[in-house]
Structure formats: C-alpha cells, structure tokens
C-alpha cells in the first residue's frame, strides 16, 4: 500500500498514503471517535491526555466536539495542524464558552462574538478570546469581571469586559 509514517501532534506517528504523491492522511489514531465505555468515559485516557489543558478540565461533550472536529479538519486540510486546530476551536466556541480554566456549554449555541458571526475568509471584527459576548449582558460580564477582580471594570464597555475576562483566563 505504499505508505509512510508522519508524526502527529501527540508525538506518535500516523500513516500517510502517498500512492498519488499527494500525501492523503489517514486518521490520527488518538483522534479516532470511540463509543463510550461501560464506565461512561467517552474520551479514552490516551486521547484525553493529548487534549489542550483547558479541554482536559472540560465536560466530555466539549472534548468530543474538539476531537471530532480536529480529526475531520486534519483530513480536510491534508494534515495542516494549525488550520485544523483553529477549525476545532471555532466549532468548540460555537457551543461552549471559556470560563476560567475550562469550557462550559452555552445556554444558546451560536457565534460568541462579532468576528465569529461574520464568517468566511479574511474575517474582520473584534474577538473576545472564547468569552461569549453575544450570549451575555454587560451586567453578567461585569459580575464575572468582579469575581476575577479585574481593575477598571466599572468604566469598561461590554466588549472591553469580555476581552479583559479572556486575558485574565489565559
């Protein structure tokens, strides 16, 4: 079958088919979708270990969303990991928001900020780094900023609060 091994971000290698010399990747074994085990663990330990830290501390649904999208994007973008990760985070941000050091489900799925709403290549607009600006009022963001002890919060606009929260959470 004329294949070769290429390292994936987990440090392990994955097979690439180069019969037609265009390196069409097969799925990274760590990102293979799995059925939940009898113990209810939807994400195998070996796969969970390779997720970003914020996702390791997040609900299983967030982990599955990220892993499945990353897997699909790696195939779609011929193994371009940076682009695949951006795509996976975009999908995650549609259904979850970053709260502290983990991701939580949004009340209503949808774009989290102006930039996500626009869509398409060459996006313009502001982003709030995973904080759901569209789904929260200024007062809710203010209360969150208060819990995070962000200085100057009383004079900040809604987007400024969201950006300050995002900076504090990173």
17-76: per-residue pLDDT in tens?
Answer: 444 444 444 455 445 554 444 444 333 334 666 788 888 889 999 999 998 998 888 888
Q: Residue 27 gets which letter from DSSP?
A: P
Residues 6+ apart with CB under 8 A from 113: 125, 126, 127, 128, 131, 132, 133, 134, 159, 162
CB 75 within 8 A of CB 84: no
Note if the pTM is more than 0.95. Answer: no
The CB-side HSE value for 41 (13 A sphere, CA atoms) comes to 8
Q: Residue 161 and residue 154: Cα distance in Å, rounded?
A: 9
Residue whose entry in the numeric block shows the structure tokens 């930039």: 115
Q: What is the pLDDT of residue 17?
A: 45
How crowded is residue 95: how many other Cβ atoms within 10 Å of its Cβ? 16
For 68, the token pair is: 């499945």
């Amino acid at each position: 079958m004329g294949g070769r091994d290429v390292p994936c971000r987990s440090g392990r290698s994955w097979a690439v088919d180069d019969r037609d010399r265009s390196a069409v990747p097969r799925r990274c074994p760590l990102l293979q979708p799995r059925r939940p085990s009898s113990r209810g663990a939807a994400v195998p330990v070996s796969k969970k270990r390779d997720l970003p830290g914020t996702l390791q501390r997040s609900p299983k649904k967030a982990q599955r969303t990220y892993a499945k999208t990353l897997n699909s994007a790696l195939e779609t973008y011929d193994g371009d990991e940076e682009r695949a990760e951006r795509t996976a985070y975009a999908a995650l941000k549609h259904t979850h928001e970053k709260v502290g050091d983990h991701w939580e489900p949004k009340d209503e799925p949808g774009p989290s900020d102006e930039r996500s709403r626009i869509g398409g290549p060459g996006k313009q607009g502001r982003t709030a780094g995973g904080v759901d600006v569209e789904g929260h009022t200024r007062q809710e963001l203010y209360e969150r900023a208060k819990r995070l002890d962000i200085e100057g919060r009383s004079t900040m606009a809604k987007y400024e609060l969201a950006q300050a929260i995002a900076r504090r959470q990173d």
